[in-house]
Structure 1
Amino acid sequence: MTSSILLLDRHRMPQKLSSPLPSPHEVLRNDLCDQILAAGGAKLVLIRGGAGFGKTTLMRQLRQRCESQALASVWLTLDSADNDIGRFLGGLALALTPLIPDLSIDAVDVAHDSGRVMLELVDRLARLSEPFILFLDDVEAVHISSILALIQQIIVALPLGSQVIAGSRSNPELGLGRLRARGWLLEIGPGELCFTLEETGKYVRERRLAVHGDDLHLLHARTEGWPVALWLASLALDKRGAPGNFIAGFSGNHTALAEYLTEDVLDRQAPEIRQFLLDTSILDTLTVPLCDHIRSSSDSRALLARLERGNLFLIPLDDEGASSRYHALFVQFLRSRLERDHPEAFRSLHRRASDYFLTQQRHVLAINHALKSGDREYALRLLSAHAEKLLSNARMRLLAQWLGEIPKEDLLPYPQLRITHVWVVNFTRGPRAALALLDDNGDLDMSDSETRALSLPVRPMLLSLCDQNEEARSLGLENLKKMPPDARFPRSMLNVTLAIACIVAGQFAEARRHVDATRSTEGNAQDGFAFALTEALEGLMDLLRGDVLQASQRLRSLIQPRTIDPGEPNKVNAMAGILLAEALYELNDCAGAERLLNAYLPFVGGGAMPDQLIGSYTLLSRIHALRGDSERAMQLLSELEFAGHRLELRRVVLSARLERARCLLGQGKMEAAKDELEAAEDPLWREIASRSLIANDVEIHAIGRLRWMLRSGQSEQALPMLTELARQAAHDHRFRRLLKLKVLTAEALSRLREGRLAMRHLSEALAMAAPEGCVRVFADEGVVIAGMIREWRQGRAAGVIDPAGPISDSFSNRLLEAVGVTDSALGNETAGRIQGPAEPLTRKEVEVLVLTAEGLSNRALAERLFISEATIRTHLRNINSKLGVNNRVHAIALARRYGILT
């Protein structure tokens, strides 16, 4: 496929990319426009109010101001269909084309790797040199977390002078509290959107209505300045000689509006207009051919023109007038009236709309209307004909929505849809729910070869996602023999499941055979769902072997444009993105890792592999901890533990507790860390430690326990256990685990004053890490390791230490920089011995540091000490400066070594 898809979409939905045309009687909101345009520091202007509050009108007037000031702007109107991230990203890419003419984003890119597209859009926008305004209207229509997360990333990354101006009926989940705290948010709420008395009078005069004096005051009071209520009232007042009585009885509640719409709007129309309004109310977008088709007539153009002239809630969606829509309140009223009073017509109109979109090859809209038509048999036949294609393109949420609304008994004659339902439940609600549904479908008719083929990978895949890899492998091999030779997608997915099971068992050669089989099945079409999975699995094996640089290169190339049909994001790219984040984190590119994790975290819910869940949450938790945000770090681990309970994945729960113990240990909270380690004890760890699991390749309970022993003065007891674990890791070719154990062994020896042996083990660890650029394996262990690295550098320079391999000064510098300790802090320290800071801390600074060590946030510190947050930040900067560190975690650790904290 080519980019012509996007070009076609641009012609199909111009209304999404253009602000509506002005109304002839609208009131200019000059004061609001001035306020918004003067708020240069606000990255987000949120215009929030219910239906009919004039949000879109204000935004359009703002855009006119932008044009008059030669300030670049783009517009995107959202709707419920944009909860398909493929559609959203495609529309956003089209909207941004005027700002980034060379933005090479194809619809197929969006389908295959929405996360990469997110990152590219954010990065490209952040690099723009000229300020711009991005208008997003009807934001309340979007509720998918990944889309809201992308909008939030765009807001944060905006270059100086640029803004997002968003219109929404409710507060969107865009991190408003954080934006507000940073001074990046300007909120225009319903109170500001309501007309003032002066604006109400101006509107009445524009409409040439005979409303003056007390009547005008009463009209303003009755409507409370609600623009749509004034509009509705003005339609009736236009035909009344004495407006006082009408205004006195006018109410703005929904019931009154509905009654008013019925009696004073709909019932007053000519029969042909009334019927046209009801018939076309089922449509989200009105075009002449579509209206003609569903009505079996040829007069739609003339009737639409009459509606426009009569100002009957018709909103043009493009400059040419080719498409339009009804006002949201009005169309809801019309649909309710049509379905209640004319149920047969309601269903038949939807059926005709489905037929129309089918002829236009717009299958999603065709299926949508078919399902609303009440002709369940027709809808299910249509859905069955396109379900496999939608499934292979990962349209999981869309399929889940449709299939979830269909009664179980109606699906009984459609075995392919029933097994498709199992697939989508897995990817949206998790493997346990999918297994329950699969067992509930025990009577599935397998006489159809397509259904049989689609069912063969399901149970092995679900068992693998439940961490039952041996069972998954055994059943998968058995089912592979039964797979029809022409079943490309099911065969590929079964081979992928078997490859994963082999990787977990440490049998990489056999895993690669399944990977090669998948590629052979996919042929030359390197665009398939399964093919992309095989690439991610190659990167996974690279990481497990310790080939961090090769893994990062391979995974970067995977997060590139692919060529599958447009659709929703899939777990494939989430898997690759999180693996790449793992590699980048180890290379100390924490910012790059965080961007990936923020992009892909929303996709690792229900159907994610356990390692994706553990890896994404723990990495993000560590990054927040490095920034000193211990509250968010611990919250992420709580979310991970909850996900483990919800999905009934014991390894996820145990890993969350183990990482929480590591986090608490880094804060010096020894007893709390011990409690978490005890809560994480489980016989399952023996099995986990023996498997090749990327999330627990290094972090197993035994290592967590040994780390705690070192920091609590039990290095002598820990040393033989470290030696035995290192021997086993070397035997099993576990590079990353062995490297971590060598680092901890060096620390143990240093604490036992075995300086020469400590330096030898550290030298061996550095020689292993340097070729791959592994940094965090050292830096995550804190300032003790930093002091040892400094001592190692001094010993090498003096000729006392003979390096185990070529290790550059730049690499050791990177290690010291990563741990956040400067030369002034380290001084001439040796491991286990350190002098106090050159400049002592004041009593207040020590008090702040003590409370910081308890995990209090800046706000909590300020409340506890009765000082401002600004003063707290000043104290923390002074503390870091005196200790020679750059974050609170390292300040606490170094203060404990100085004896400032006990």
Structure 2
Amino acid sequence: MNLSQGAEPPPALPAPPALPGPTGQGTAWVARTRLLARLSAAARTPVVLVSAPAGSGKSTLLHQWSHLDGRACVTVSATSWLDDPARLARALVDAFERIGPPGSDPRAGVTAQEPGWATVVLPGLARLAVTRLCDFVLVVDDVHLLQAAACHEALAAVADAVPEGSQVVLATREEAPRYLARARAAGRLLEIEPDDLAFDLEEAAALFAGLAVTLSDEELAETVERAEGWAVGLYLHALSMRGHGTGGPRDGGPSRRGRDGFVFDYIGTQVLDGLDPRTRHFLTRTAPLEELRPAVCDAILDRQDSVAVLPGLCESLQLVIPVDDSGRRFRYHHLLRDALLSELTRESPAELDDLHRRAARWFAEAGDLDQAVRHARAARDHRLLADVLWPALPDCLTSGSLDRLAGWLRGISDHDLQQEPRLTAAAAWLALQQGDAERMDRWILHAERLAGIHWRDLARTDEVTAALACAEAVVGRGGLADSIALSEAALAGLPPDSGFRSAAAFVRGVCLTLQRDLPAGLEGLRTAEGLARALGQPLLVADSLSWQGLLALASGDQRRGTELVLEARSLIGDHHLERLATSAHCVTALALVLALNHDPSAARVLGTARRLTAGTDGIAPWFAVCGRLVQARAAVALADGSLARRLIGEAKVHLTADLRDTLVSDFLAEAQQALTMLSVDGVSAATLSPAEIRVLQFLPSHLTIPQIGEHLCLSPHTVKSHTLAIYRKLGVSSRDEAVERAQRLGLVEGPPRD
């Protein structure tokens, strides 16, 4: 389509036969025959590294290979957004599942937090690599954009595990990552380097012929020598020669040594300068978008013709590349996009920020929150970021998407988070759900400071302050009566559709039942359950069901209690919520039900409940006591008096004056009475202290004793002492044996199961 206004359209730019990156338009590529033959000959080599500077033809080579190779081929294109361990891991899981077979939603187990990253995610990626139904080629392009060390741990896990007959291919502008040294030493690595990718005379001749540029043999050899075979340099030089006539500019062509500045200059003079102003404006103002869709292009440019413009650009400007066959999704070649962004940043940085803002609003309305957050952060607009993030916050907190929320906030300084009340509240809730009491306290104090000295009164009328009140009610440092008052203030101040309402109703219901007001408490729990179901919050539905189930068990109605708790278990399992700190409540109730029903998995579930509870100390004092007492009842049902006695002792340590004359005292009396009636009192491997359980979580990882100490803020000597105590109590003599024994007991999270 002619984008000019009353002017003759510029001539269509020629197709680049050797452009680094497929155009998808039937372009007569220069076939990289010798390299394709080399790749085919090394089809049994599990790891391939293609490392070369920008514009060397890495992506084109791999695209040609994918069309010739008969195996299933999937590509993961790295971006700055994927420079996050959890996001990259999910992208790799998606790639493996496209190859098949699909699993039981392994994405739900993805977390960037230690120890889960090392003990669950990395083994899970390795397992996916070796359990595909067919031989495959997994291409990870633009690996140089991944700077996070954990991202490379994920790639290393896949590279080490890929079986013979399949291959993982890493394409990067940088030197070989250090972790590939193992593959190199074992003869499992094929390396294709810049000199390998350099065009020879035959390939360069094909390129120039495809662009209808005629050179003598001497001119061709001189041009190739000066360009050092650099693919994009030869292509752009050919474009220049078309403008200057046969023989080209007198400098003899581009040199690879000054590639970055040269590429920008050449794209500016040989590509952009030949376009009419309206087309150039479209290109530069859509460059902030990683993917071009007509609707978002229209939105940020305030126009209505992008649906026709983009295909036209794809035909005339071969640096515009289709993402799929729909004809509605495109991207700019990275060299073109870099040049466009450089021009826009230099000429109009304020407009660049405004384009990001418009894109953020469009993606937010379209429901693509990850892209909305990316653009809001690129605009450095924290108020807009809060506008995007705040409505999705309750869902992230109650649906197992903590790593998504953590990724949205990662990299924003504490100072910037403290300037926006909604971001401060989000950081506080994130820490609460992760079980990080120290960070939670710090962010709650910041939120109180922002809300002002009268924040409790303000909570009844202001949504953000009401969410703070809800968090304070969950934490419960002021006692049961204070939690009830805060919950009621939150319910008054939150909008009807706020996801925090169900949390406030749940805390109110629990606290009322603990104060022995069972009718009002049960009504509050059913209200919380109904709200959570309506708002699609499975964790809060499960929490409400579990507490109702425990109350039914306490009243002697074991059948009804079992039904409620098992329904909660289904929700936790179906939505993969086991890793959330607040799921400790549901898992604890499940452990008791299984133990009372003599289920063989009860001991393992009890171990899991203990592990989760150890991570929630400092949050919700009522659960620190009630959770351990319920677990003690489960231990008694399993005839494990030693563990029951320890749990009762831990519960007494957490028992506050506020809880002494409440339903908690009944739980304590029942647990103690059950213990006195137990005749079997053997020694249990599960009598680990909370501190030892926290250390135990890191033993399956690759971390050393000093590194574990850094994560837990403990000295290496303390970690070593806890480790030796773990060995003694588990009856083992090595780290591997301790991990194996602990996984059987449910005390540590094991790798994914088949």
TM-score band, normalised by shorter chain: 0.5 to 0.7
Q: CA deviation at 1:401?
A: 5.9
Counterpart of 1:163 in structure 2 is: 167
Q: Evaluate the alpha carbon distance shift between residue 782 and residue 214 of structure 1 in structure 2; reply closer, same or farther with a 3 A threshold.
A: closer
Q: Evaluate the alpha carbon distance shift between residue 539 and residue 243 of structure 1 in structure 2; reply closer, same or farther with a 3 A threshold.
A: farther
Secondary structure at 1:315 match in 2: strand
Secondary structure at 1:167 match in 2: strand
CA contact (8 A) 1:128 1:159 kept: no
Counterpart of 2:359 in structure 1 is: 353
Counterpart of 1:190 in structure 2 is: 194
Q: Evaluate the alpha carbon distance shift between residue 294 and residue 456 of structure 1 in structure 2; reply closer, same or farther with a 3 A threshold.
A: closer
Q: Evaluate the alpha carbon distance shift between residue 132 and residue 433 of structure 1 in structure 2; reply closer, same or farther with a 3 A threshold.
A: same
The one-letter code sitting in structure 2 at the alignment partner of 1:657 is K
1:231 aligns with 2:258: no
Counterpart of 1:64 in structure 2 is: 67
Q: CA deviation at 1:64?
A: 1.7
Partners of 2:486 and 2:203 in 1: how far apart? 71
Deviations 1:150-205 (A, max 9, x none): 44333333333111122223357683122222222222223322323443333223
Q: CA deviation at 1:231?
A: 2.3
Q: CA deviation at 1:419?
A: 2.4
Secondary structure at 1:305 match in 2: helix
Q: Evaluate the alpha carbon distance shift between residue 151 and residue 541 of structure 1 in structure 2; reply closer, same or farther with a 3 A threshold.
A: farther
Secondary structure at 2:187 match in 1: coil
**Mapping 1:186-585, distance limit 5 Å:** 186-241=190-245, 242-248=247-253, 252-373=258-379, 377-393=383-399, 399=405, 403=409, 414-424=420-430, 435-436=441-442, 438-440=444-446, 443-445=449-451, 446=455, 447-448=458-459, 451-452=464-465, 454-455=467-468, 480-484=483-487, 487=500, 519-520=546-547, 526=572, 527=575, 529=580, 532-535=583-586, 550-552=602-604
**Which of 707, 722, 747 is residue 639 of structure 1 equivalent to?**
707
Partners of 2:185 and 2:590 in 1: how far apart? 40
CA contact (8 A) 2:424 2:446 kept: no
CA contact (8 A) 1:134 1:165 kept: yes
Q: CA deviation at 1:334?
A: 0.9
Partners of 2:476 and 2:379 in 1: how far apart? 44
CA contact (8 A) 1:79 1:142 kept: yes
Partners of 1:781 and 1:295 in 2: how far apart? 59
Counterpart of 2:75 in structure 1 is: 75
The one-letter code sitting in structure 1 at the alignment partner of 2:459 is D
Secondary structure at 2:54 match in 1: coil
The one-letter code sitting in structure 2 at the alignment partner of 1:656 is V
Counterpart of 2:645 in structure 1 is: none
Partners of 2:161 and 2:610 in 1: how far apart? 24
The one-letter code sitting in structure 2 at the alignment partner of 1:419 is A
Secondary structure at 2:171 match in 1: strand
Q: CA deviation at 1:245?
A: 0.5
Partners of 1:178 and 1:543 in 2: how far apart? 46
Partners of 1:54 and 1:431 in 2: how far apart? 50
The one-letter code sitting in structure 1 at the alignment partner of 2:76 is L
Partners of 1:129 and 1:181 in 2: how far apart? 28
Counterpart of 1:654 in structure 2 is: 717
Q: CA deviation at 1:34?
A: 2.2
CA contact (8 A) 1:78 1:141 kept: yes
CA contact (8 A) 2:76 2:91 kept: yes
Secondary structure at 2:449 match in 1: coil
Q: TM-score, normalised by structure 1?
A: 0.53
Partners of 2:406 and 2:317 in 1: how far apart? 39
Q: Evaluate the alpha carbon distance shift between residue 448 and residue 262 of structure 1 in structure 2; reply closer, same or farther with a 3 A threshold.
A: farther
Deviations 1:686-723 (A, max 9, x none): xxxxxxxxxxxx43xxxx9xx9xxxxxxxxxxxxxxxx
The one-letter code sitting in structure 1 at the alignment partner of 2:59 is T
Q: CA deviation at 1:101?
A: 4.8
Q: Evaluate the alpha carbon distance shift between residue 556 and residue 414 of structure 1 in structure 2; reply closer, same or farther with a 3 A threshold.
A: closer
Deviations 1:824-847 (A, max 9, x none): xxxxxxxxxxxxxxxxxxxxxxxx
Q: Evaluate the alpha carbon distance shift between residue 127 and residue 300 of structure 1 in structure 2; reply closer, same or farther with a 3 A threshold.
A: closer
CA contact (8 A) 1:618 1:659 kept: no
CA contact (8 A) 1:391 1:420 kept: no
Q: CA deviation at 1:60?
A: 1.2
Q: TM-score, normalised by structure 2?
A: 0.62
Aligned residues: 565
Partners of 1:782 and 1:349 in 2: how far apart? 53
Q: Evaluate the alpha carbon distance shift between residue 222 and residue 520 of structure 1 in structure 2; reply closer, same or farther with a 3 A threshold.
A: farther
Q: CA deviation at 1:149?
A: 3.7
Q: Evaluate the alpha carbon distance shift between residue 199 and residue 516 of structure 1 in structure 2; reply closer, same or farther with a 3 A threshold.
A: closer
Q: Evaluate the alpha carbon distance shift between residue 454 and residue 300 of structure 1 in structure 2; reply closer, same or farther with a 3 A threshold.
A: closer
Deviations 1:339-374 (A, max 9, x none): 332345434433332333233222332343344456
**Which of 755, 777, 795 is residue 731 of structure 2 equivalent to?**
777
Partners of 1:61 and 1:638 in 2: how far apart? 47
Q: CA deviation at 1:35?
A: 2.1
The more displaced of 375-384 and 225-234 is: 375-384
CA contact (8 A) 1:151 1:174 kept: no
CA contact (8 A) 1:45 1:166 kept: yes
Partners of 2:111 and 2:487 in 1: how far apart? 28
Q: CA deviation at 1:285?
A: 0.7
Partners of 1:174 and 1:183 in 2: how far apart? 15
CA contact (8 A) 1:22 1:57 kept: no
CA contact (8 A) 1:73 1:134 kept: yes
Q: Evaluate the alpha carbon distance shift between residue 86 and residue 301 of structure 1 in structure 2; reply closer, same or farther with a 3 A threshold.
A: same
The one-letter code sitting in structure 2 at the alignment partner of 1:245 is R
Partners of 1:557 and 1:385 in 2: how far apart? 31
Partners of 1:25 and 1:88 in 2: how far apart? 33
CA contact (8 A) 2:100 2:133 kept: no
Q: Evaluate the alpha carbon distance shift between residue 781 and residue 311 of structure 1 in structure 2; reply closer, same or farther with a 3 A threshold.
A: closer
Counterpart of 2:698 in structure 1 is: 617
The one-letter code sitting in structure 2 at the alignment partner of 1:233 is H
Partners of 1:53 and 1:427 in 2: how far apart? 46
Q: CA deviation at 1:238?
A: 2.0
Q: Evaluate the alpha carbon distance shift between residue 146 and residue 518 of structure 1 in structure 2; reply closer, same or farther with a 3 A threshold.
A: farther
Q: Evaluate the alpha carbon distance shift between residue 214 and residue 61 of structure 1 in structure 2; reply closer, same or farther with a 3 A threshold.
A: same
Q: Runs of 5+ in structure 2 lacking a partner?
A: 1-20, 492-499, 512-541, 549-563, 612-689, 742-754
Deviations 1:745-786 (A, max 9, x none): xxxxxxxxxxxxxxxxxxxxxxxxxxxxxxx62554999xxx
CA contact (8 A) 1:535 1:558 kept: no
Q: Runs of 5+ in structure 1 lacking a partner?
A: 1-17, 462-471, 499-514, 560-608, 621-631, 663-697, 708-739, 741-775, 784-813, 816-902
